[in-house]
Structure 1
Amino acid sequence: MTVVAILALDGVVPFELSVPGQIFGTANEAFGRTHYEVRVCAPGGRVATPTEYGGFHIATDWDLKALTEADTVVIPGHAGFLDAPPATVVAALRAAAGNGARLASVCVGAFTLAATGLLDGHRATTHWQHAGELAHRHPAVDVDGSSLYIDNGPLITSAGVAAALDLCLHLVRRDLGAALAAATARRTVMPLQRDGGQSQFIEHPDPADRDTTLQPLLHWMEAHLHEQLTLDDIARHAAMSVRSLNRHFRTQTGTTPLQWLLRARVHRAQELLETTAIPIERIATETGFGAPSTFRQHFARHTGTSPQAYRAAFRSPSPSSVPAFDRRDRRPGSTTGARWCG
């Protein structure tokens, strides 16, 4: 049994508070048995949400002590995130980390996590509007305001509000594998993986008119991942100049055509590693990397591990064979999550 504790501070954002329970509870349904036990933990057992979000009181049976007994602690944002968190909260979070729990922040919950000092020396993200402030207040943290979430093993941070869904689905994928995560995503009507990071929301929201989007081109690129596509090939299919293609990609996806293609190939390779026994050499060919050495190089750069290690960690088992999440299996500094899968 994996115990998930959600830290509810006064002024907690209701959506961010409820997402972990929704995702992990749905994962239990998809799994066919209870893998996660979700506990909402509040100082004194009672908090209120901000009036601008509907304003209501929450009473819970769990206090800060429950954080130290959890396997995973989720830290949502709250209205007073710019104020220093109470010493008791900082102590409880540090104690949880010391006991082997993984700590995951949502949106401006990164400010609370950063106040513990645990993020020092690590890459982290938060809502793009507050990334500069987080970097200013915590210069020892390498703040990246463009990512939807950043996984440092026992420390995970995510972007604003809806990125709580991305974060929690990512944790389900780490714990239970791609198949169960995909089933959970389908039940919550959410894509398992969103591309483009926060940059697509910062400056240029996607156009409403489908005729002006790159969606048909992206589908074509995904269908031809196995081919050695060049920038000229992509531009020719899109009936655009290379310059226009690059501009449209930056506007709508926040990245370049070739970088998007590379990420799509890595994602496809992850799917094949998780769900099939296809040899590494064949996966390299089917995903357009060509030589296995090239595949291994790009895969390691994007995932922090080798294809072989990734397959060992994430190959989807049958539900009956998935062991309980055991915090004794975690090691500080892990980036692949291989030890987290039992």
Structure 2
Amino acid sequence: MSTDIDPFQAEQQIVEQIRIGRRRIDAELSKVIVGQKQVIEQLLIGLFAGGHCLITGAPGLAKTLLVRSIAQIFHLKFQRIQFTPDLMPADITGTEILEQTPDGHRRMQFVKGPIFANVILADEINRTPPKTQAALLEAMQEHQVTVGGVRYTFEEPFFVLATQNPIEMEGTYPLPEAQLDRFMFNVEIDYLPEDDEVAVVKQTTSGRPEPIEPIYTGEDVRNFHEVVRRVPVAEALVRYAVRLAAASRPGHSGSPAFINDWVSWGAGTRAAQFLVLGAKVRALFEGRAHVTIDDLRALVHATLRHRILIGYRAEAEGVSVDRVVDRLLEAVPAPG
């Protein structure tokens, strides 16, 4: 009698394990984080898809605590880098120093910078000059740095979350569109509803919270990356993602009139790639081995809001990027 495991049955078991694992992650995070369900979901999707996230929100919204807690759950090394106007690329990547060996010789020794971690919180990335921003963004893209002609590769997974304060813009260096495009999502984090804020105050002014328990490892995340790539997506849904991105481009043959009026720069192909990849992860989180239209639509704002540059007319009329994305969802026909 054959004891071979049916491939479909094995795949279904993996999907169910992921669904249950997602609930376990929520349970651990709820020990220290109140609310912010959508933010948590988008950050986890970014981690499991192998992308990076930009987090936009005011100070004091527990961004550092959330990111550190995610790193603890997966037993990953965490580093927070505070970006300042005087921060240099070598302060991030590391530098070579001259040291003397026990036998009296001298040699160059590379001292790794804080970027050599699994989870990086790049705090207030828009407060540092473009040269330093570029060093981080290049490392994000290549998953390695080159110092003194020697290449140093990062340990996987490598997950960067960069924060921006949308209120204090004076003395900042806004990221150019080409650099923003390297982030999978722009996750907006806002103030909590009153009941959740009351719960936070009570929790943080009482006893110590329960410690976060590691339940996964970096190897689990690497395996998850492979599972995500195997999730099938109907061609009609892929075309829908491509059409959404294309419709955001002014002057494109399929763009609605309001895009030409309001938008200066639209999303590129990478937007559709990340949208489909994120939808695959979301489907797995829901216990499905297939992507639905709801998976795509749930992630459109996070995928497009940093890839669409609104023009002067939109600013004069008080039109936000999210409003443009809302109109895009109304204008681009969904597959039947």
* TM-score greater than 0.5 by the shorter chain: no
Q: TM-score, normalised by structure 1?
A: 0.27
Higher relative contact order, chain-length normalized (CA < 8 Å, sep 6+)? 2
**Structure with larger Rg:** 2
Normalised by the length of structure 2, the TM-score is 0.27
Name the one with the larger strand percent: 2
